[in-house]
Amino acid sequence: MVEADFDVQDFEDRHRSDPKTPVRFFLHPVEIGIVDGMRKFRDVEMCEISVPGSQSNRPVKKVNEIVKRRFAAQYAKWKASGHAEQMVEGTHLTEVTWLTRSQVEELAYIHVRTLEQLAELNDNVCSRMPGFYDLKRKAAAFLVQGKKNAPILNLQKQLDEEKAKNLVLQQNIDSMSKRLAALEDDDDSPKPKRRKKG
């Protein structure tokens, strides 16, 4: 009998610590809904696992307790390194159409990642960065306008949901009508006559 040169437990126990597998942790924005007329996001911890020997197989998954236990050393190093930026919630700057890509990158460099953070940016920071006062004012005005538009957008969302429900109901009615018509056609078809026993 040939002995394996690996520990079978590595494949059977997903909860066991796995310090050798290359894994990359990062934050990924996930939409949580529309608040005050704007799409809001929350950062979620994610990881990309590199499967040794495969360039294309790189599963990406949400960090949960199993991932934290399995990659405990890598996760702790990521958290301690400062690369794990503070998780934020709000309207991510990548969603703001009036910001250029370079402005988004400049703001990310100073750890401003949401429209709400930009609107509350310290004046001292704005004074050192040309054009940031204007961006700050525009962000504040945009948030105020979003709050004003929120009731209209909420009504539009409700209307869209009702339309979707009505469409499903209409499809169900059409389906039942076809079934009923098929049953009525079966009832109208001539029945074979029974032979009399004799």
Structure tokens at 138: 């525009």
Nearest to 45 by CA among 28, 22, 30: 28
Position 8 scores a pLDDT of 46
Q: In sequence order, what are the residues at sequence separation of 6 or more whose Cβ sits closer than 8 angstroms to the Cβ of residue 157?
A: 34
Query: What pLDDT was estimated at residue 174?
Result: 92
Structure tokens at 139: 């962000």
User: pLDDT digit of tens for each residue in the chain (198 aa)?
Assistant: 445 444 444 444 555 567 767 788 888 888 877 776 667 778 888 888 876 656 677 888 899 999 898 888 888 888 887 655 555 677 888 888 888 888 888 888 787 888 888 888 888 777 777 788 889 889 888 888 877 766 666 667 777 888 889 888 999 999 999 888 888 877 666 666 666 665
Tell me the longest C-alpha to C-alpha distance in the chain. Answer: 111
Cα–Cα distance measured from residue 169 to residue 50, given in angstroms and rounded to the nearest whole number: 46
User: At 75, is the secondary structure helix, strand, or coil?
Assistant: helix
| Residue extents of the structural domains in the chain | 9-90, 93-187
